[in-house]
Amino acid sequence: MSHSDGTRAVHAGLPAPAVGEPFLPGPVFAAPYHLDPVTGPGENGYARTEHPTRRALETAIEALEGAPTLAFASGQAAITALLLAVLRTGDTVALPSDGYFTVRAFAEGTLRDLGVKTVLVPTAGPYPDFTGVRLVLLETPANPGLDVCDVRALSAAAHEAGALVAVDNTTATPLGQNPLALGADLVVASGTKALTGHSDVLLGYVSAHDPTLLGKVETWRKQTGAVPGAFDSWLAHRSIATLDLRLARQTANAAAVAGLLLSRSDVTGVRWPGLPSDPSYPIASAQMRRIPGIVSFDLGSAERAGRFLSAARLVFAATSFGGVHTTADRRAQWGDDTPPGFLRFSCGIEDAADLLADLTAALDASA
């Protein structure tokens, strides 16, 4: 029987009911486990390679992404593992020119030193011929500019050229879209953001149907030890139950915030893929089941952005996104290639009326 997103999120990864046992068992903190003196390890041997709490989390994410999953200590650990497990000297990787800037920095440093060539491609196109490319990494919606690409069409073009396709699903979450169902070979994401949503966990994951591909990533994880701890894994699993509810409020708040920002002449560059006027709307509305609660806009200068954040009472200045608290981040301060007054605005789950009132007052005070 097929269940809705909310039901799947609530029940994802839970063990079969057992009298006297909790719905979600608490974290197991052991690192080594008792071994059979003759045959060695059973289901668990050593926490870096096998761990029951991490395995339960991976089962939960698998239920949402639709494929076997490996959890990592952070989103960056996950995407690093994917790139280093798949790419070899002489390969070419296509990366989004407007995606997460740390991935580009990794490519321009470590991957270049390993003899891997990088081609930067805008999320919204135009797209090159992928002939000779080993891996095409897509990020959609892109962070922080929120452009959207057609995963199905780009996957078909990449596969025709002999390339693998990975999609960074951080911004959308698996309740927003399922890239593997659209033709991608791998999904990678930061679970630090909306997936867990409480700003108290660092987490990443990689999902794939192909056991050979996922096996390469798992070997890399085993040999480098880039695993999440037991308590982080448990916190993440606990948080997934409310994912559908949190996303519903965040999306509704983003729609209200985007509408308010569009109405103001002192705000420019408003982007939210759920707006019919947004350049990404045609693809996003066809491809995504839910538009994320992220809005981007420009206040013209770093000084005004700073005044806005100082005046806001419900908007915290923070560099993550997707949490239950509304946050905003001036991306240029981190070296991201954005205008000095550009803000990535992540809607929390506050009441929309309160959020709009605070946003209006802060914009007025900053003008």
> pLDDT at residue 321 above 90?
yes
Q: Which of 218, 240, 262 is the last residue of a domain?
A: 240
The model's pLDDT over 254-284, given as tens digits with 9 standing for 90+, comes to: 999 999 999 999 999 999 999 999 999 999 9
| Average pLDDT of the residues in 124-144 | 97
Partnered with residue 138 across adjacent β-strands are 167
Q: Which of 219, 240, 261 is the last residue of a domain?
A: 240
No. of helices (H) and no. of strands (E), the chain: 12, 12
> In terms of domains, do 192 and 280 share one?
no
> In terms of domains, do 205 and 111 share one?
yes
> In terms of domains, do 201 and 156 share one?
yes
User: Which stretch of DSSP H or E encloses residue 261?
Assistant: helix 243-262
The model's pLDDT over 282-296, given as tens digits with 9 standing for 90+, comes to: 999 999 999 999 999
How many domains in the chain? 2
> In terms of domains, do 214 and 288 share one?
no
pLDDT of residue 42: 86
Q: Which of 195, 225, 240 is the last residue of a domain?
A: 240
Pairing of strands 164-168, 135-139: parallel
CATH number for the domain harbouring residue 60 = 3.40.640.10
- Of 43-47, 77-81, 160-164, 260-264, give the lowest mean pLDDT range: 43-47
> In terms of domains, do 132 and 34 share one?
yes
> In terms of domains, do 201 and 133 share one?
yes
Give me the sheet containing 117-121, strands edge to edge.
69-72, 204-208, 186-190, 164-168, 135-139, 92-96, 117-121
> In terms of domains, do 234 and 267 share one?
no
> In terms of domains, do 218 and 272 share one?
no
Q: Residue 286's domain spans which residues? A: 243-366
